[in-house]
Amino acid sequence: MKNPLLNFDGLPDYAAIKPEHVGPAIETLIQSASAAVAHAEKTESVSWETLVEPLQDATEKLSRAWGAVAHMNAVVSTPELREAHNAAEPKVTQFWTSLGLNRALYERYKTLSEHSAVLLDEQRALLRHEVRDFELSGVALEGEARDRYAAIQETLAALATKFEDHVLDATNAFTLDVHAAELDGVPSDVLQTATEKAKAAGLGEGMARLTLHAPCYLPVLQYAKSRTLRETIYRAYATKASELGDASFDNSEIIEQVMALRHEEAKLLGFESFAALSLVTKMADSPKQVIDFIRDMAHRAKPFAQRDLRELREFAGVELQIEDLQAWDAMYASEKLREKRYAFSDEEVRQYFPEDRVLAGLFRVVETIYSVRIVEGKASAWHPDVRYFEVLSQSADSQTNSKRIGEFFLDLYAREGKRPGAWADTARARRVVAGRVQTPVAYMTCNFPSPVGGKAALFSHDDVITMFHEFGHGLHLLLTAVGTLGVSGFGHVEWDAVELPSQFMENYCWEWDVLAHMTQHVDTGEALPRALFEKMIAAKNFQSGMAAVRQMEFALFDMRLHTEQLTVNRQELLRVLREVRNEVTVLHPPEYNRMPWSFAHIFAGGYAAGYYSYKWAEVLSADAFSRFEEEGVFSPTAGAAFRQEVLGRGGSRDAMTNFVAFRGRPPSVDALLRHNGMVSEATRSAAT
């Protein structure tokens, strides 16, 4: 029987991939890649064709196969698949670690980099990145330090997987069975899903089963009238994967080990802190610069956040009889205040955003500004809900001459066995060898509510913003013009610039010419009324100050944790968290809140000492979009420039150069402050 993980002629047959395929495929591909490395080590004639291309041929196959395994383990996890993934992961980590420590290859790459005048600019850029990455991967280490570095990498990879497993398992394990009558105020589709779960579990009539998955947890906090119920589910969410929940899912020890190993890794490589090591591959110059940036943004936002909280507390006391506003009341009270102040609710808006209409509106934006076409196709997928699309070039004469630029999979709904959150990732990167183009393929993953009662899936406006965000990441991969593997797409793009294309796309969710074409009431078929849109615009910056300081709380906690010389244990972690909250937070969560214990971005993802990237890139994205505001949000001229100078360049040029080439000047924070409504009346008056 053929192993679908070893088929590289087209897209993987995801539906055919089984846990038993993982081990043999990874073993085979590691052997092939190791053979290619051994051959490259002995190559006397060092050139792009004799060194780089053969290595990329072999290692890319391993990356693609392992990427498919890791992706499926994140979206359709089963005990068997997890076991196969976790058994193969150390071998994959060992291979990549040994590659980074390979001094013979390092010397060859360095030689080629120093004699690369005949190469393309993008090829020279890759060589610079590779030489730097060798140096950041411990290639200069000797003896015990070298062995220790390799052991650290293997352990960190295993701990990251275990951290995410604990968060997923804790999320899946929690259920709360209540009488349906206790869900007064909760949207009907959420109630229907909860009662169907209760029925499937064999509970009696009139019962409902709640979970910690976002399509259940968030509406309960936002709409449930029962304060007791809100507090119960908030506590479960805030303590998941911690010592205050199921002990078998406790991430305490993992966090301690991760922090100790990261600090040790940084010291081995000659850096004062892990943050200093992390920033080598980012736009920011130093931990101090980042912390100053975070504190400056928090300082700007905090007066607005304090105003938001004063208004919310007053409203909650007078209108809702909640005298001591707590974290589990915030979403509920905020929704009621929004309804009173702006005369609409999120639930009312959600009725206008059925899935297919949203996708059509999203594709219209992309097709207009970037001169492409998006068509749905058929491909093997890992779940029946997954949809597949192709991105085609627009042809001046006929559609038959359109050329396929890339492909992507959309996996939109929350389900058991799927990790929470939303993300985009690479299934296959663009590569050009001997004139033959390998088109890029992207995964775009969300956790939205699935269809209920025969109706289309309905998305909140926040869900729509999330979809546009992830699609921006996807476009960074799909619209690259670079043909060199490693710097095409978002390969080697500075981490604090990776969010630029994604946050840029969010701006379109607030444009009338966009929403007018992407909304249709699920029952009446009517488009979003202009009057309701105006209310949404009026409410756009509702509590933007509170949202901003919450983001700064996460960012400052992350940077302090990775900058300061800490012996990280539970007490130290909570101490730093308290200090950060005392500095920037306005509505303090309860003492039992264990946010870090499920903070996968920094303990299992790529955002360690980099969570600030969201706000850093938001400065870039707001300023980039301001050009579209000046020239027209559908401006094909601005779109072509953004595609050419930002999306198209990938990591073949540094992010600041890309931005300046598009905008004509360095970035300014002014557009972000204006977009977030954090501009004083005096400043507004002076500007006008």
CB 315 within 8 A of CB 332: no
Q: Which two tokens stand for residue 147?
A: 């062995």
Catalytic residue among 130, 335, 407, 470: 470
Q: Which two tokens stand for residue 679?
A: 């501009």
446: helix, coil or strand? strand
Q: How many CB atoms lie within 10 A of CB 103?
A: 14
Task: Give just the sign of the alpha carbon dihedral 570, 571, 574, 576.
Answer: negative
Task: Find the distance separating the first CA and the last CA of the chain, reported in whole Å.
Answer: 71
Residues contacting 30, CB < 8 A, separation 6+: 62, 91, 92, 95
* Residue spans of beta strands (DSSP E) within 71-175: none
CB 423 within 8 A of CB 396: no
Q: What is the DSSP string of 206-246?
A: TEEEE-SSHHHHHHHHHH---HHHHHHHHHHHHTTTSTTS-
With 0-12 CB in 10 A as exposed, 13-18 as middle and 19+ as buried, what is 592?
exposed
Q: Which two tokens stand for residue 6?
A: 């070893």
DSSP for residue 506: H
Q: In angstroms, rounded to a whole number, what is the distance separating the alpha carbons of residues 169 and 165?
A: 6
Q: Is 470 a catalytic residue?
A: yes
User: Alpha helices, DSSP H only, in 381-519?
Assistant: 461-478, 500-506, 512-515
Which are the catalytic amino acids? 470
